[in-house]
Amino acid sequence: MFTGIITDIGEVVATEDRAEELHRLTIACTYDPASIAIGASICCSGVCMTAVATNKNSFSVDAAAETLAVTTVGRWRKGTRVNLERSLKIGDELGGHLVSGHVDGLAELIAREDLTGMAKLTLRVPKLLARFVAQKGSVALDGVSLTVNDVTADSFSVLIIPHTLAVTTLGALKQGDRLNLEVDVMARYAARLMETR
């Protein structure tokens, strides 16, 4: 479990095909490798991944077929920057919202409006996920916890404050980019309860 508050920006430094649908990615970061247990979960641009190896300034994760099909991980190459967050510990501050790192689908950036120090992003969301996105609700985009501003039938907008632009990969986004989208878990459960009534 995560909070959507990014604690580091990592960079993919190596990729390796291990099997037809299994890729190993090595990600450089500022985390102390001694503090990363093998088997620990690290949220990488919104995707909960398992650390399978550590090195001096990096950790490695394996991505299998489902992750490669549903997320942006299959497009990551050497030099790709990724938002990182370590797992939530009991007693940690919950600054964002509860994020599982289980990506629901991809959102596409259809418009970016740069304001004074901020940016308004408008994203198209897959129709099956649109019902889970609500004004003033929460979403995670590439692992970043954000509040939804406006909602239409198949799109929504978020306002990115200067701090978030500076400490995440969202500042470099351009029209047409795709982001890993996780809808709010509470919205998902509420919808399921309504369906079963």
DSSP 16-54: EEEETTEEEEEEE-SS-GGG--TT-EEEETTEEEEEEEE
Fold of 8-86: Elongation Factor Tu (Ef-tu); domain 3 (2.40.30)
* Per-residue confidence in pLDDT tens, the chain, 197 aa: 999 999 999 999 999 998 888 999 999 999 999 999 999 999 999 999 999 999 999 999 999 999 999 999 999 999 999 999 999 988 888 888 989 999 999 999 999 999 999 999 999 999 999 999 999 999 999 999 999 999 999 999 999 999 999 999 999 999 999 999 999 988 878 877 887 87
Q: How far is 117 from 160, CA to CA, in rounded Å?
A: 9
By DSSP bridging, strand 155-160 and strand 144-151 are: antiparallel
CA angle 109, 102, 27 (to 5 degrees): 80
The answer regarding whether domain 105-195 maps to CATH 2.40.30.20 reads yes
Query: Which part of the chain has CATH 2.40.30.20?
Result: 8-86, 105-195
Whole-prediction pTM value? 0.93
From residue 71, how far is each of 10, 118, 122 by CA, in Å?
Answer: 17, 26, 19
Q: Tokens 């990115």 correspond to what residue?
A: 160
